Structure 1
Amino acid sequence: MSDTPRRTGTFPDKDTILGFIRDSATPVGKREIARAFKLSGTADRERLKELLKELEADGTVERGRGKRVAPPQSLPEVAVLEVSAIDPDGEVLARPLTWTGEGKPPRIFMMPEKKGHPALAVGDRVLAKLARVNDRLYEARTIRRIEGTVGRVLGVYRPAADGGRVIPTDKRNKTELMVLPANRNDAEADELVLVDVLPAGRLGLPQARVVERLGHTAEPRAVSLIAIHTHGLPTDFPPAAVREAQAASVPSLTGRTDLRAIPLVTIDGADARDFDDAVWAEPDGDPANEGGWHLLVAIADVSFYVRPGSALDRAAYERGNSVYFPDRVVPMLPEALSNDLCSLRPNEDRACFAVHLWIDRQGALRRHQFVRGLMRSAARLTYEQVQAARDGAPDEVTAPLLETVLQPLYGAFACLWAARGKRGTLDLDLPERKVRLDDRGRVAEIAPRERLDSHRLIEEFMICANVAAAESLESAGMPGLYRVHDQPSPDKQESLREFLGGIGYALPKVLTLTPSHFTRILAKASGKPESQLVSEVILRSQSQAEYSPENIGHFGLALTRYAHFTSPIRRYADLIVHRALIRAHGLGPGGLDDTATAGLEDIGEHISAMERRAAAAERDAVDRFTAAFLADRVGETFTGRVSGVTRFGLFIRLDESGADGLIPASTLPDDQYEHDEHAHALVGQRTGRVYRLGAPVTVILVEADPLTGSTLFALPKDQDADHPLQSGHQPGAPVRKTPSASRKRDRGR
């Protein structure tokens, strides 16, 4: 590393930083630059980040894990591209078919296809016109598709006189596809099929060939199958990975701590399919810690079975995480591990990675110790069971555990909960939908997911263990992955401050916001008509949590150090943290290797993207199940609230089921509506009608399509003109009639 002079009281300029990068024998990143010039604090980090972006945009340095001086490597104005992925937001990503530059090629986002043209699919090749956004980002528009390439589309087969039609399940794709008899592959009416779009050879509808039949759309499994295929979730494990999982077995006690005499218990949902964390607590016997507690959190030792570079490791990395649907799981690991050896089933020996936690009476973490052990769960409990026992109604399973196991857990939880309140953690606690299926796999009920103290107990134990993991990595100087959550960006802060100020709430203008600033506003709004609105706009102002080797803290939890340690069975990030701790503390085989250590930034970016993909697929499935639940109620009237405002319409969330749907702007009472982003409202330019986020509304269900997940609403025709949703002059509710903003393509969420 270069001996460039360190910071002497002024922020280094571009030339100084460029000289440091040039003189370094190896590529350097933000962390090394910040350390060299003694830059610390949010303001310095943000300034450095912007300066490096400018250097990248100038083409002076390359972007990647390490900065290095390099000439700019631009793409031509017209190039052949191959569609490489579709991200969770539905954006189509492409890459140049040929790339001779060093490192990864720039990111390319494809603009939407022209009306009447099939949507692009992974594997399609196109001749495209490129527009450079910056040195590492381009936008591209299709000039023409390359002859002989195909796009794969998921849809429903319907017979027709000239063969058949395929109706895409993607609600963004409105183009039907023609299937000639020779290309039908015996598909039957209303079957879910995968088709390849054939090269255009004549006028009329695009043609397609059925390549896979996935079952009848009337089957309950069709809903999650659509979500799986739409988001490209891998469902089959490579044979080598399956063989490795099936060959695994519980290790001996050699090199492990025997924890089998401790009555650890798992507490999960009644429908949980895997049990990878167990807990136990007792009063701390140390006289210096009067009123404190000794906690033990034991996690399945996935790192023992999934070694770096193995077939299992490659498959887990590709997935990034498990994906949970109401009727199935797409696991990160094969069943032999996820449902067996890494599931902490009662009265069976299981390898675990555990952390002893000592907290004081205020809930502060005093010290911790990580061990690899062998455990035996005393019981598999549900949240409802534990809560009932706590409330005085134990059953035959919880009654023997009430005094010795459950009461100490709640005692420790009380201290952790008090510490959470003292930190000022941001608790939006917005309702979450739970889809309950009947024995035939059909939707029986959609209701808000209940939040019990037993849920909060497990969350607080897991948070404490995650904090200990992050502190341990940092104190050992061991690279790892942190779960980071930045404070809202300055632009979002200012927009939120302006909006809240208009309805009587003051967000202070301070250098560094804390969650307590938001918590006080939420407390002030609690119980008032605008409570939901305040929660929604605060939620929308927040940054997105992600995984990074650079620790910037977790804003929402008000924690300076936080990592994910507690679910390696379903999150690759936790597996990385386990491996890093094993290497840091010399705890045996399966530690983080040098290759992963050098690539942590790339790993963090990949699994953050996979997390977003999983969340989108899960939302998609819930939307489709919800549409199926409502399909027989078209024409009925419901109450709800405006949950989103866009230039193309209003998103409505129903009170009864939490179902989300759209009122298209074109169906609103006759007027020209402008989208006021800052006020979260659509404003009628002639009538002054205002449709605002959080407002109550009565709607009629117009459409509920399980195949596309599309739910459409309309306002009743006899809607009262004085309805509070339409009032343009509510006290303290700011609405500015400004020209609608152009669409913003925010690539950095």
Structure 2
Amino acid sequence: VRMVFDRNGNKRSHEFIRGLMKSAASLSYKQVQQAIDGKPDDATAPLLDPVLKPLWAAYKVITKAREARGPLDLDLPEYKIDIGKDGRIAGIRIGDKFESMKLIEEFMIQANVCAAETAEAQHRKVIYRIHDAPSREKLVALAEFLATLNLSFARGENIRPANFNRILREVDGTEHDRIVSDVVLRSQAQAVYSPDNIGHFGLNLRRYAHFTSPIRRYADLTVHRALVAGLGFGKDGQTDDEISELAEIAEHISTTERRSMIAERDSKDRFIAAFLEARIGAEFTGRIAGVTRFGLFVKLDDTGADGFIPISTLGGDYFHHDEIIHALIGERTRIAYRLGDLVRVRLEEAVPVTGGLRFELLEGGSEAPKGAGARSRAPAGRGGVKRGKYGGKSGRGGPRKGPQKGPKRSSHR
């Protein structure tokens, strides 16, 4: 697709062409970023002035329109697993983030919009990538949580991504930035495929159809076929039978997408558990990533590993699960373990076959806000009979729970 934008990043026109793509240089994101940053190599040096700089200038132009559109601006870390030549895990790190990645992403988004617009103009039925606005219940829960951090959130009838971005900017760089980003993500609906277009809330787009990856996503291939048929590019386009099955296809690929996301998450959990198995007894810092009636989920800072702290190991107290502030609160001690709190833990158990990790709390917790915990109907459970300075030493006050996995993360893109 050939796209023309004005100086403010607004698309003036586009045209689809059927042809063959050849990657002449096969550059990596890192290579392009280094070239733009003034460190070109043998492959990028000849392309810098005639190709890369004009491409970068075009990207900077369309980001103006993106900023004016105001899509949901979540920036969460992604952890990568490095595997050595011997097949063993060499390390776990936060993945690289280059602006060159955003360049490709922005142009792909524009191409996807063009695909949806052309399909509609040709009266071809296609599968859209849709993302509904958050439900009223999730917005109320989010507003109540933010209120505990003295943050206001307008949840009127016309909720927009800008409402969330304002909150994210307000907490950027503070101790609450990670937790607020996480809670905002959890408040979002799951993006799915559907022949019935309702728009894409997260990207703040009226029409959006995946088009850019037909070799790995079936939804994109169905869109290519629709365009081939609509534009008269050949006889291998969308058929009447395929049109009649689009709803079924959309439901199927939405299901398989969720299944593949779970498989990816499970495989990462197992790799991480195998990597940490040799470090049982070691101490780590992390943050509380999930709060349930049965205990706390903790995400480690250095590896992003998710593990579980059973409520039976939190100390000799009854704990109430306060769903509004996402916390376990001791009835007698009034100590609170809240979502996002910084904690120090010791690894007690790692099970690579399931990807489960179990921690013991060494440090963490703070005094509960006034009135917190009273909203719970019943105690969540009882902690152990021993109690350290920070609710640390494990006890025997409840059933022993094996390693569990952390809370699921929704995808809106």
**Shared fold per TM-score greater than 0.5:** yes
The residue that corresponds to 1:729 in the other structure is 369
Separation in 1 of the partners of 2:378 and 2:20? Answer: 61
Amino acid at match of 1:666: S
Shift of 1:667: 1.6
Separation in 1 of the partners of 2:317 and 2:342? Answer: 21
- 8 Å contact kept, 2:112–2:211: yes
What SS class does the counterpart of residue 690 from structure 1 fall into?
A: strand
Separation in 2 of the partners of 1:513 and 1:492? Answer: 12
Equivalent residue for 1:675, pick from 308, 321, 333 = 321
- After superposition, the C-alpha distances for 1:69-100 in whole angstroms (9 at most, x for unaligned) are xxxxxxxxxxxxxxxxxxxxxxxxxxxxxxxx
What SS class does the counterpart of residue 304 from structure 2 fall into?
A: coil
The residue that corresponds to 1:358 in the other structure is 4
Separation in 1 of the partners of 2:25 and 2:117? Answer: 30
Shift of 1:675: 2.1
Q: Would you say 1:592 and 2:232 are equivalent positions?
A: no
Over 3 Å counting, the alpha-carbon distance change for 1:419 and 1:740 in structure 2 is farther
- 8 Å contact kept, 2:320–2:373: no
Match runs of 1:549-698 below 5 Å: 549-698=195-344
The residue that corresponds to 1:314 in the other structure is none
- 8 Å contact kept, 1:623–1:659: yes
Q: Would you say 1:521 and 2:161 are equivalent positions?
A: no
Separation in 1 of the partners of 2:269 and 2:144? Answer: 33
- 8 Å contact kept, 2:321–2:327: yes
Separation in 2 of the partners of 1:374 and 1:601? Answer: 30
- 8 Å contact kept, 1:679–1:736: no
What is the TM-score when the length of structure 1 is the normalising length?
0.50
Shift of 1:640: 0.3
- 8 Å contact kept, 1:677–1:741: no
Shift of 1:674: 2.4
Q: Would you say 1:738 and 2:353 are equivalent positions?
A: no
**Consecutive unaligned residues in structure 2, runs of 5 or more:** 381-410
Amino acid at match of 2:184: I
Amino acid at match of 1:728: A
Shift of 1:741: 11
- After superposition, the C-alpha distances for 1:112-148 in whole angstroms (9 at most, x for unaligned) are xxxxxxxxxxxxxxxxxxxxxxxxxxxxxxxxxxxxx
Shift of 1:680: 1.4
- Give runs of ≥4 in structure 1 deviating > 3 Å: 733-737
- After superposition, the C-alpha distances for 1:414-442 in whole angstroms (9 at most, x for unaligned) are 01222222211112111111011100111
Match runs of 1:453-468 below 5 Å: 453-468=99-114
Amino acid at match of 2:41: D
- After superposition, the C-alpha distances for 1:150-174 in whole angstroms (9 at most, x for unaligned) are xxxxxxxxxxxxxxxxxxxxxxxxx
Over 3 Å counting, the alpha-carbon distance change for 1:740 and 1:442 in structure 2 is farther
The residue that corresponds to 1:54 in the other structure is none
The residue that corresponds to 2:347 in the other structure is 701
More RCO (CA 8 Å, sep 6+):
2
Separation in 2 of the partners of 1:454 and 1:663? Answer: 39
The residue that corresponds to 2:96 in the other structure is 450
Over 3 Å counting, the alpha-carbon distance change for 1:380 and 1:712 in structure 2 is same
Q: Would you say 1:470 and 2:108 are equivalent positions?
A: no
Over 3 Å counting, the alpha-carbon distance change for 1:568 and 1:374 in structure 2 is closer
Match runs of 1:47-126 below 5 Å: none
**Consecutive unaligned residues in structure 1, runs of 5 or more:** 1-354, 743-748
Separation in 1 of the partners of 2:327 and 2:244? Answer: 47
Match runs of 1:384-463 below 5 Å: 384-463=30-109
Amino acid at match of 1:590: D
Separation in 2 of the partners of 1:679 and 1:576? Answer: 44
The residue that corresponds to 1:35 in the other structure is none
Separation in 2 of the partners of 1:374 and 1:443? Answer: 39
Match runs of 1:26-37 below 5 Å: none
Separation in 2 of the partners of 1:655 and 1:465? Answer: 36
Separation in 2 of the partners of 1:474 and 1:650? Answer: 48
Separation in 2 of the partners of 1:473 and 1:667? Answer: 58
Separation in 1 of the partners of 2:374 and 2:160? Answer: 29
Q: Which has a greater percent of strand?
A: 1
Q: Would you say 1:500 and 2:146 are equivalent positions?
A: yes
- 8 Å contact kept, 2:281–2:346: yes
Shift of 1:677: 2.1
Percent of aligned positions with the same letter in both sequences? Answer: 51
Over 3 Å counting, the alpha-carbon distance change for 1:661 and 1:552 in structure 2 is same
The residue that corresponds to 2:22 in the other structure is 376
Shift of 1:503: 1.5
Separation in 1 of the partners of 2:109 and 2:119? Answer: 15
What SS class does the counterpart of residue 328 from structure 2 fall into?
A: strand
Separation in 1 of the partners of 2:37 and 2:349? Answer: 43
What SS class does the counterpart of residue 435 from structure 1 fall into?
A: strand
What SS class does the counterpart of residue 520 from structure 1 fall into?
A: helix
Q: Which has a greater percent of helix?
A: 2
The residue that corresponds to 1:44 in the other structure is none
Separation in 2 of the partners of 1:590 and 1:629? Answer: 48
Amino acid at match of 2:71: T
What SS class does the counterpart of residue 678 from structure 1 fall into?
A: coil
What is the TM-score when the length of structure 2 is the normalising length?
0.89
Shift of 1:376: 3.0
- 8 Å contact kept, 1:679–1:735: no
The residue that corresponds to 1:308 in the other structure is none
Separation in 2 of the partners of 1:468 and 1:734? Answer: 50
Shift of 1:445: 1.2
Match runs of 1:193-342 below 5 Å: none
Amino acid at match of 2:328: L
Shift of 1:734: 5.7
The residue that corresponds to 2:406 in the other structure is none
Separation in 1 of the partners of 2:359 and 2:9? Answer: 48
